Amino acid sequence: MSKRIDVTDLDVYYSDFLAVEGVNIEIEPRTVTALIGPSGCGKSTFLRTLNRMHEVIPGAHVKGSVELDGEDLYAPGIDPVLVRRQVGMVFQRANPFPTMSIRENVLAGVKLNGGRLARSDEDAIVEKSLRGANLWEEVKDRLDKPGMSLSGGQQQRLCIARTVAVAPDVILMDEPCSALDPISTLAVEDLIHELKTEYTIVIVTHNMQQASRVSDKTAFFNIAGAGKPGKLIEYADTT
Ligand code: ADP
Ligand code: ADP
């Protein structure tokens, strides 16, 4: 179920260094928001705070709040693992688990979180997720082949299937196409359009054309200079 994201007075630090300052943004469900801005302005840093992924970096911490349909992801006692189940992340470089088959890759996140499943449930999740990632027809006859045997574009859609399999409310993407060729990029962009009907999507991109093609809203970040914090300058309809 797609959820609204409310970010209030968010500051993000790496130890003492203030990397991102004073972000306020309301992101509506069933929309795609593109994060745009120069290198180093804090796009990835901000993105990672939306599922507490920044916490894997020692010393990284936040002030302010991030709410999903009014629920604070940073309230005391909230388990970051549960947050990451609700808010999935797709990375720049497709990262299928190298020792796993296509099928095992799709199920990897589900098993990590939920433990055992009946084989018939697994089959249903694998098919539904791969269909959801527009990959089913291409791989249905080779599900037991290594995930790494797929092309780069297919691997990225496999990683999207792995994220979708966990049934999140929000999907974050950090430059998901920057390592892909133009045809694979279009396939992933088409997929983003389709995913929008079920998820709230936030995507970091360096590419204004891509922002125009895939997003409803654009969040412009900027930075006043080296050592200064990145800031959200404007949040507007994508033109
Ligand atoms: P990209 O622009 O491709 O995302 P970056 O150079 O921004 O690559 O970052 C690559 C990795 O290095 C990220 O995980 C980021 O958190 C980390 N990183 C970036 N800047 C620093 C820094 N000043 N100190 C330590 N790690 C950093
Ligand atoms: P962008 O994604 O817009 O290129 P980043 O979020 O990667 O920007 O970086 C924002 C700022 O935070 C930069 O000054 C970068 O060097 C710094 N930074 C990023 N990751 C780390 C890290 N792991 N440790 C320390 N500083 C970091």
Q: What is the ipTM of this complex?
A: 0.81
Q: Please name which of 89, 87, 84, 82 lies closest in space to residue 159, comparing C-alpha atoms.
A: 89
For the chain, percent of residues with pLDDT exceeding 70: 99
Q: State the ligand closest to the CA atom of 175.
A: 1
For ligand 2, atom 12, which residue shows the shortest CA distance?
A: 19
Q: What is the whole-number distance in angstroms between the Cα of residue 206 and the centre of ligand 1?
A: 15
**Mean pLDDT, to the nearest integer, of 116-145?**
94
For ligand 1, atom 20, which residue shows the shortest CA distance?
A: 40
Q: What is the pLDDT of residue 114?
A: 60
Q: What is the pLDDT of residue 113?
A: 57
Q: State the ligand closest to the CA atom of 178.
A: 1
Name the token pair of 158.
């496999």
Q: How confident is the model at residue 1 (pLDDT cuts 50, 70, 90)?
A: confident
Q: Does 101 score more than 60 pLDDT? A: yes
Q: What is the whole-number distance in angstroms between the Cα of residue 220 and the centre of ligand 2?
A: 16
Indicate if the alpha-carbon torsion angle 136, 142, 144, 150 is positive or negative: negative
Q: Does 160 score more than 80 pLDDT? A: yes
Query: What CA–CA distances, in Å, run from 117 to 39, 145, 161?
Result: 43, 21, 17
Model-level pTM?
Answer: 0.92
Q: Does 198 score more than 60 pLDDT? A: yes
205 within ligand 1 shell (Cβ under 6 A)? no
CA 72 to chain centre: 19
Sheet containing 71-72: order of strands: 71-72, 60-68, 5-14, 17-27, 230-237, 217-223, 32-36, 200-204, 170-174, 87-90
Q: What is the pLDDT of residue 41?
A: 97
Report the residue among 10, 11, 14 best suited for mutation to probe ligand 2: largest number of ligand atoms under 8 A from its CB: 14
Q: How confident is the model at residue 116 (pLDDT cuts 50, 70, 90)?
A: confident
**Mean pLDDT, to the nearest integer, of 202-217?**
96
